[in-house]
Amino acid sequence: MTMIYLKKSTRSAETGQTDVRAAVETMLAEIERDGDSAAIRFARDLDKWQGDIIVTPEVRAEAAALVPEKLKADIRFAHRNIRRFAEAQRATITDCEIEILPGLMAGQRQIPVASAGCYVPGGRYSHIASAIMTITTAKVAGVPMITACSPPRPGSGIPPAILFAMDTCGADVILNLGGVQGVAAMANGLFGLPKADILVGPGNQYVAEAKRILYGQVGIDMFAGPTDSMVIADHTADPRLVAWDLVGQAEHGYNSPVWLVTTDRALAESVMALVPGMIAELPALNSASAAAAWADCAEVMLCSSAEEMAAVADDYAPEHLHVQAANLDWWLSRLTCYGSLFLGEETTVAYGDKCSGPNHVLPTSGAGRYTGGLSVHKFMKTVTWQRATRAASRELAIATARISRLEGMEGHARSADVRLEKFFPGEHFDLSATDAVG
């Protein structure tokens, strides 16, 4: 049986999105031209914020005092888990060196970027977890200067829980700035800060577009679209768990796709029957987002085998991929295209979104085919070095000169020639490109 749709998306996740590129380009140009004053103006006009841009130590302490102890404990729990996973990642990244041929040593070094900018979304949801994910990972990577920003609320600034998380995770500077102005301030080194070498963190379409335009001037974690999630389920899955996992991810936004891939028609029909009632149980704003996402972007696919389900998953390359099926070890070894993989009903994407350890800043819109999510690797540069003895330089120079002349790059050839002349005076070498290839 070929895969069939029991429910099909009526549009792609991108359909109907406002074209924001021109507006973002204008804002970025103004901020680059006018600097601090432009960022302050946008903060006033867009965020209705007229207070300090840089959060003072006193305000950090005041925010911490406002956070309930139970929430502080939860934030510390998440921070500890995310830090431990990042530390395990960091341990896999090592310097190395090798003697390629006698006298020729080469190697690599792992060097963290000098400055990172972490964007923490605000708006409808208070993204405490995004602060933990981005700042903690940069800190573990060894980034010496970490700036974080988030949209301030009129009259009060960044919510206390987000400020506490930023402070706990090690942000050196925190900015009361959201949107394009926050991203641009970090990229351009406004308010006396160093320019960020890399910008990371999720955000709305304006933030995503700003990062896209700035890419090249600075590094970025990835080009991010609407969040997406897929559940693979067989006859062993619990329809109620599957349905809530889909609904929970659909509440991200009206354009957040959720997909169910299954070999069990009865399970699929049960899930489709359960979802509308579950959506109705959510608070009004969450319910509206989830209802729109389910109606327009959700898909339910019926497959004939585990292998066919795996092939569908690899084709979609979902940001989040949750397997609720038998033989989890097989799925772990078989699946290849996803942002983060969740195995078994005992875990859920929500765990990964908030506190379990692996990063929640992940590739969307099929980008899991060619990249992974945010990790310590994103904050580090793998650079190489080499050193040669004069004896090793002899073979290298001869081959370099011949290859360079074959390519027509005489200047390269001469830089090899002069070393042979200096290191091996009086010797004759055949350095022409003749007979270099057949």
Coil/strand/helix, residue 419: helix
Tell me if residue 79 is catalytic.
no
DSSP 8-state assignment for residue 102: T
Amino acid found at 321: L
Classify the phi-psi angles of 365: left when phi > 0, otherwise alpha if psi is within -120 to 50, otherwise beta: left
Of the candidates 290, 319, 224, 261, the residue with the CA atom closest to the CA atom of residue 17: 224
- Give how far the C-alpha of residue 343 lies from the chain's centroid of Cα atoms, to the nearest Å: 21
Q: What are phi and psi of 19, to 5 degrees?
A: -80, 110
**How do beta strands 320-324 and 229-233 pair?**
parallel
**Helix%, strand%, coil% for the chain, nearest 5:** 45, 15, 35
DSSP 8-state assignment for residue 109: E
Tell me if residue 377 is catalytic.
no
- Distance between CA atoms of residues 303 and 301, nearest Å: 6
The catalytically annotated residue of 209, 319, 322, 360 is 319
Contact at 8 Å (CB) between 263 and 304?
yes
The catalytically annotated residue of 79, 127, 252, 320 is 320
Going from the C-alpha of 436 to that of each of 35, 378, 397, 403, 418, the distances in angstroms are 56, 41, 15, 8, 21
Of the candidates 232, 302, 298, 313, the residue with the CA atom closest to the CA atom of residue 264: 302
Going from the C-alpha of 97 to that of each of 19, 104, 107, 113, 383, the distances in angstroms are 49, 10, 4, 21, 12
- Distance between CA atoms of residues 337 and 216, nearest Å: 26
Contact at 8 Å (CB) between 145 and 116?
yes
List the structure tokens of 86. 């990042």
Of the candidates 365, 306, 307, the residue with the CA atom closest to the CA atom of residue 339: 365
Amino acid found at 195: K
Amino acid found at 205: Q
Contact at 8 Å (CB) between 132 and 82?
yes
- Distance between CA atoms of residues 176 and 421, nearest Å: 62
Q: Catalytic residue positions?
A: 319-320
